[in-house]
Amino acid sequence: QIVRMPGLIRVSEFVEETREDYNSPTTSTFVSRMPQCRQTIASLEEAEIK
């Protein structure tokens, strides 16, 4: 079982969101997930620095 930190997004979720945005931009939720993407990147960068 994969344990995730709240607010983070998996690569597979990002890819799926991107695919949905590309295929149907008018119904996409990609923009609303951007804060989650930013938080994930910041967490990964912080972990890399430590």
First to last CA, the chain: 25
pLDDT at 12: 93
What is the domain count for the chain?
1
Q: Are 8 and 39 in contact (CB under 8 A)?
A: yes
Residue 18 lies in a domain: yes
pLDDT at 15: 94
Task: For residue 50, name the pLDDT band (cuts at 50, 70, 90).
Answer: low
The domain in which residue 19 lies consists of: 11-49
- Over residues 22-31, the pLDDT tens digits come to 999 999 888 8
Residue 1 lies in a domain: no
Q: Which pTM was predicted?
A: 0.66
- Tell me whether residue 2 is in a domain: no
Does the structure show a pLDDT above 70 at 44? yes
Q: With respect to residue 42, please indicate whether it lies within any of the assigned structural domains.
A: yes
